[in-house]
Amino acid sequence: NRCRSSFHEAQRYATDLERQQMLSYDLERQVAVGHAVMARLQLEVAELEEFASVALHGKQQMASHVQGMASCIRDLALPHVHSPGTESSNGEQTCIEYVQATALRLQEVQAELALAQADRRSTSQDLQHCIAE
């Protein structure tokens, strides 16, 4: 009788040990997933910081172009003395060049932002995949 009770106790102990091992493996897996998620989050933060940097740099360049255009327009608003037969002044040509340069830079900035957004979306999707696992 005593042997039987010791045997049952040993079985309960073995069952508890198996449960604890399964919980331990599950926790280890969850920790590994947590580390992977953290790594992906850090990557996404870095990409967001890069995106913000690209956006800020583009904004600063656009502001500089706009200031140049405003200066050019102010110059054009001042009364000019045109010699007869002159169709455009030097100021008008400068203004046209500013507008063209600004339009070109705007396209470049939009392309840079589109690339940064695509990278961010890709990272976000990878992160969601990682979390789902």
DSSP notation for 36-86: HHHHHHHHHHHHHHHHHHHHHHHHHHHHHHHHHHHHHHHHHHS---PPTT-
Looking at residue 77, its pLDDT comes to: 67
pTM over 0.75: no
Looking at residue 1, its pLDDT comes to: 74
Looking at residue 130, its pLDDT comes to: 67
| Domain boundaries of the chain, sorted by first residue | 2-132
Packing angle of the helix pair 2-77, 90-132 (nearest 10 deg): 170
Amino acid at 55: A
Profile the chain (133 residues) by mean pLDDT over runs of 10 residues.
Answer: 82 91 90 84 82 81 78 68 52 72 79 79 72 67
Looking at residue 89, its pLDDT comes to: 60
Task: Look at residues 99, 103, 123, 109 and name the one whose alpha carbon lies nearest to residue 48.
Answer: 123
Looking at residue 21, its pLDDT comes to: 92
Phi-psi region of 84 (alpha: psi -120 to 50; beta: other; left: phi over 0): beta
